[in-house]
Amino acid sequence: MTKLNLNFNYNAWNEYLEWKKEDKKTSQKIDNFIKECQRHPFTGKGKPEPLKANLSGAWSRQSNHKDRMVYSVTTTELQIWQLKYHYSK
- For the stretch 36-85, pLDDT in tens is 999 999 999 999 999 998 888 999 999 988 899 999 999 999 999 999 98
On the question of pLDDT at 26 being above 70, the answer is yes
Domain layout of the chain by residue ranges: 5-82
Q: How far apart are CA 11 and CA 85, in angstroms?
A: 12
Which listed residue (18, 22, 49, 77) is catalytic? 49
Among 30, 42, 44, 39, which residue's Cα sits nearest to residue 80? 30
User: Is 86 tagged catalytic?
Assistant: yes
- Catalytic residue selected from 22, 40, 77, 86: 86
Give the tens place of pLDDT for each residue, 42-52: 999 999 999 99
CATH code for residues 5-82: 3.30.2310.20
36 is catalytic: no
Residues in the chain: 89
